[in-house]
Amino acid sequence: MSARSKTPLGRVLDAFSLAVVFGILYFAVRAAPGLRGDAGIFGAIGFLLLAGTLMSELLEVIRLPHLTGYLVAGLIAGPHVLGLIDTDSVKRLAPVNTLALALIALGGGAELRVDQVRRGLKSLVVATIIQTLVVGIAVAGIFVLARPVIPFAQRLPMSAVLAAGLLFGVVATTRSPSATLGILAQTRARGPLASFALAFVMTSDVVVIVALACGIMVAHVMLEPSATLSFAAFRTLGHEILGSVSLGTTLGVVLAAYLRFIGRQLLVVLVAIGFGATEVLRYLQFDPLLTFVVAGFVVQNLSKQGDRFLHAIEGMGGVVYVLFFAIAGADLDVPLLKELWPAALLLAASRAAITFGAARLSGAIARDPPVLKRWAWTSLVAQAGLTQGLANVVQREFPVFGDPFRALVFANVALNAIVGPVLFKLALDRSKESKGPAPALSEVEEPADAK
């Protein structure tokens, strides 16, 4: 029975089951507070799967996306609310995120079809340029103007505030592929808005990485007037991007050949890629996300195995998505958000408003269809892991303000991760794309020649 077809009694049973699950873990933690190790981790995984699924079905009554339910369940059970899952357990669950991000990237690349990208290429290019420039510059300006409400900025000289604002503006241009794919998987959306959102978030990483390299270079000069512009970072950046694309193409060809000639134990192959290939790519200093996006794109567009590949990813995605977002909810730093909420709320709200304005501008320039002019901005609000990763880079590069800068970014991510998916699902519902006839990936039958 689907969540939407449940009777009131079914909803009551879901609520009761959720209370029972929370109660069992609550008393287990109180009875054995020192329980750690593998038993505690497996218990946390089982709890997050059950609680996240039940919470998502309850919140669907008020038309909230499933991943919001996963986030809420993790947040309530996490170390900063009920403390049923401690900080150490959250950190030990990090490998789940590694696998989830690999599946998200592979699935996102496989969802990108050449014909769809070609049809929306003008909108995509214009939106990328406008969103990057307008959002980056405007948010940087808001950061500087908001100096009185940003605790660490009050203690910095103006040159450092300008440098931090520039970097914060760059970080503000990041989006969340995981949130976008999570919403699209739930709603089964098909249409201009869904295609635009998917293409934009899956191709924006390269632009953001280049923009951050430029921002870091300029920020160093602003902080150290005697410093000269160094383009050494761009050699490293070129190595990373070209290497990631090359390895992604190779991986895609290998996956397509495996699907064509062997085609068995696909789940095992995906797990091996998610864990093993990610570590190898990090060791070689390539970008795993970009590599996997390219690999999925190659399988979809240069072979006949795209539907089968998506079917295999969806087979694992249901479980992995629940865990990924539930862990993200448990990892939300509530005390940090309480401390920085005035500045975080101001910057997050400003970013959303600027994103809305930039989307209207790019829609007018590209002569987009009405649905994109009205709703495209909603897919660009959510932020997640990539944003936090860039904040970590800034923290290492600029010890003068790196730690509080990172904290402020993380507080913004928390707000955007909660609000962004809700806005995007609302847009898909209002544009009627989430009610299309296209089946969920898990319902796609394998082609006869692939069985």
pLDDT the model gives residue 134: 94
Which tokens go with 249?
A: 């193409």
pLDDT the model gives residue 33: 62
> Positive or negative, the Cα torsion across 155, 157, 162, 166?
negative
Q: Does the pLDDT at position 68 exceed 80?
A: yes
Q: According to DSSP H, which parts of 188-305 are helical? A: 192-223, 232-261, 266-272, 278-283, 288-301
User: CB under 8 Å to 449, separation ≥6 — which residues?
Assistant: none
pLDDT the model gives residue 30: 75
E-state strands within 380-427: none
Tell me the CA end-to-end span of the chain in Å, nearest whole number: 28
Q: Does the pLDDT at position 375 exceed 90?
A: yes
Mean pLDDT of all residues in 413-423: 89
Residue with more model confidence, 71 or 354: 354
pLDDT the model gives residue 34: 59
Mean pLDDT of all residues in 307-312: 84
For the ranges 1-10, 89-98, 375-384, the lowest mean pLDDT is seen at 1-10
Residue with more model confidence, 317 or 319: 319
Write the DSSP assignment of 153-164 as a string of letters.
Answer: HHTS-HHHHHHH
The closest alpha carbon to 35, from 88, 79, 82, belongs to 88
Distances (CA, A) of 184 to 180, 264, 302, 340, 421: 6, 27, 23, 32, 10
Q: In angstroms, rounded to a whole number, what is the distance separating the alpha carbons of residues 188 and 283?
A: 36
CATH class name, domain 99-450: mainly alpha
CA quadruple 18, 19, 21, 25: dihedral, nearest 10: 140
Are the beta carbons of 401 and 392 closer than 8 angstroms?
no
Q: In angstroms, rounded to a whole number, what is the distance separating the alpha carbons of residues 398 and 218?
A: 12
pLDDT the model gives residue 38: 59
Are the beta carbons of 439 and 188 closer than 8 angstroms?
yes
111 phi and psi, to 5 degrees?
-80, -20
The closest alpha carbon to 58, from 21, 29, 89, 100, belongs to 21
The closest alpha carbon to 28, from 101, 75, 77, 68, belongs to 77
Q: Does the pLDDT at position 373 exceed 80?
A: yes
Write the DSSP assignment of 13-53 as a string of letters.
Answer: HHHHHHHHHHHHHHHHHHH-TT--HHHHHHHHHHHHHHHHH
Residue 448's pLDDT band, with cuts at 50, 70 and 90, is: very low
pLDDT in tens, 33-64: 655 555 667 778 888 888 888 898 888 888 88
Are the beta carbons of 42 and 24 closer than 8 angstroms?
no
Q: Cα 284 vs. chain centroid, distance in angstroms? A: 23
